[in-house]
Amino acid sequence: MASWVTYICKKCGYSVQTEPQGFYGLMSGMYYNFKCSNCKRIVSIPTGGLDRHDSLPKCPYCHETDSLSTWNPIEGRCPNCGGEMSVDKLAGVIMAD
For 1-97, strand residue ranges (E) read: 2-9, 15-18, 23-26, 29-36, 42-46, 68-70, 85-94
Tens digit of each residue's pLDDT (9 = 90 or more) over 39-60: 999 998 887 755 555 566 789 9
Task: Report whether 75 contacts 84 (CB < 8 A).
Answer: no
Q: What is the pTM assigned to this prediction?
A: 0.74
Averaged over 69-96, what is the pLDDT?
A: 79
